[in-house]
Structure 1
Amino acid sequence: MKNLLRSFLLLIFGTITMAEDVDLFEASNRVVFEFNQALDENFFEPIARTYKESIPKTMQNRVSDFSSNLNDIYTLGNEILQFKLFDSVSTFGRILVNSTIGLVGLFDVASDIGLEKTNEDFGQTMAVWGVSSGPYVVLPVLGPSTMRDSTGTYVDITENIDVTKELNTTEEVALLLAQAVDTRVKLLPVTVLLKNSDDVYIATRSSYLQKRQFDIFDGNPPIENDDF
């Protein structure tokens, strides 16, 4: 109940912060973007490449599958909030199968038996509830977002803390780092494409907003939508 109340308060905040200009804060966004780029090029990307080249693929898959199983927990909650009953039943089945037969999510058995993975976050949930995206923003370390998705990210992080609260500090940090590295490895191909663009900032912004539109409309975005 406490988390649901917090979510509704953040929904109100997200509604208040709506704006028509897609990149109202471009000047400050570019400053944060440059900071993130430097941090990524000197820290995150080298670690991701070393991980990909040095760690056996089998072990990488276990980390990826475990992270995916945790993500299914957050997805389930958001599917329920979006009244996607069929998807929520399928996701619940994935969690049940992968958490038992899949050894606490280390193996994605659910996909092998036809339980398709979906991804829903609180930013998508707010979009379904009718909250406008608001202006584009770049968050320190976390990267591209919007005012709505920033609020959603806060809720998602809070829920993540609630799910992993049984872990001690060392285990929680290790899990967070493993998830971060796994995510960064998956983004390596995108990094190459973006670096070849004339303006990496604009290319990143465009890619993010298009992907979010794709995600929110479950792969069938309208031809025109002034919100994005």
Structure 2
Amino acid sequence: MPTPHRMIVCVTLLVASGLLAGCAVPGPGEAPDGIYDPQEGPNRRVHAFNKRLDTALTGGGGGGDAVPFVVRAGIENMADTLSLPQTVANQVLQLRLGRATRNAARFSINATVGLLGLLDPAEAMGLPEDESDFGETLYVWGFPEGAYIELPVTGPSTERDAVGMAVDLVTNPLSYWLPAPDKYYATGVRLAERVLDRSEYSEQIDEMLYGSADSYAQSRTIYLQNRRYELGDESAAQADYMDPEALDTEGF
């Protein structure tokens, strides 16, 4: 297991690399149409790979509809519970101590009364789901989103969010708290949740990937609009905000 010192050094290097990549780029309100995509060519090639992978795995459809609701709910609840320690850590770094305290309580309740997260009694007690990540932490600290990028397998992102994803991966508390093989089971639950998410939103995703004339541009627009809305980023003109679910993909 890495020492705390080595982990801190690793995190610092990851953050520094992301900040160096993003510090000289225009903000979303300054770039044309709010989109800064200097690597569009390579991004489109990655998008084509991701699209082929999605087709191979789903046949161009979501799949997973046969999973019983109770099983789906259990997997989603457990995945949320497993993400809570990292959410709490990020909200502490954001100085959102009220939200961090509520999520710590949510974790304690669901991990015990909720049978290791299979159930969600915290929701009924007034502690709803509330996620955060290191990409949001960087946003709160004032770092720019950088250029748009598409990552293999994981899909649309920005330089800031890609750095945040890497830091979250390295610093996930459960990877240090849980012994083997429990940590691998936890990873399996998170992956299963991603598969179920693909199924749940299959209609919208299929329309974007297979029903639009330019699925790359469509997914880029939807990701950036949705992510900025999640963060409350007002540097992109909010008057021009489009609800991602309301976008008309016909003839795009």
TM-score range, shorter chain: 0.7 to 0.9
Q: Select which of 56, 62, 70 maps to 1:58.
A: 70
More divergent stretch after superposition (111-120 vs 151-160): 151-160
Q: 1:222 to 1:15 in 2, by over 3 A?
A: closer
More divergent stretch after superposition (157-166 vs 145-154): 157-166
User: What amino acid maps onto 1:66 in structure 2?
Assistant: M
Q: 1:47 to 1:68 in 2, by over 3 A?
A: farther
Aligned to 1:187: 201
Q: Select which of 111, 126, 136 maps to 2:123.
A: 111
Deviation at 1:11, TM superposition (A): 2.4
2:115 is paired with a residue whose SS is coil
More divergent stretch after superposition (126-135 vs 31-40): 126-135
- What TM-score does the superposition give when structure 2 sets the normalisation length? 0.78
Runs (5+) with no aligned partner, structure 1: none
Aligned to 2:192: 178
Q: Select which of 191, 201, 223 maps to 2:216.
A: 201
* 2:10 aligned with 1:6: yes
Q: Select which of 162, 172, 179 maps to 1:166.
A: 179
For the aligned residues, what is the CA RMSD?
2.4
Deviation at 1:122, TM superposition (A): 0.6
- What TM-score does the superposition give when structure 1 sets the normalisation length? 0.86
1:67-216 mapped onto 2 (5 Å cutoff): 67-160=79-172, 162-163=175-176, 165-168=178-181, 171=185, 174-194=188-208, 195-216=210-231
Deviation at 1:33, TM superposition (A): 0.1
Give the aligned length. 221
Calculate percent identity across the aligned residue pairs.
29
Higher helix share: 1
Asked if the contact 2:94/2:140 (under 8 Å) is kept, the reply is yes
State the distance in 2 between where 1:47 and 1:58 align: 22
State the distance in 2 between where 1:198 and 1:47 align: 18
Per-residue CA distance 1:95-142 (angstroms, 9 max, x = gap): 010001001111011111110221111111111111111111111111
Deviation at 1:165, TM superposition (A): 4.6
Deviation at 1:56, TM superposition (A): 1.4
User: What amino acid maps onto 1:215 in structure 2?
Assistant: E
Per-residue CA distance 1:153-175 (angstroms, 9 max, x = gap): 11122234725751328635633
State the distance in 2 between where 1:172 and 1:138 align: 26
More divergent stretch after superposition (138-147 vs 154-163): 154-163
Runs (5+) with no aligned partner, structure 2: 239-252
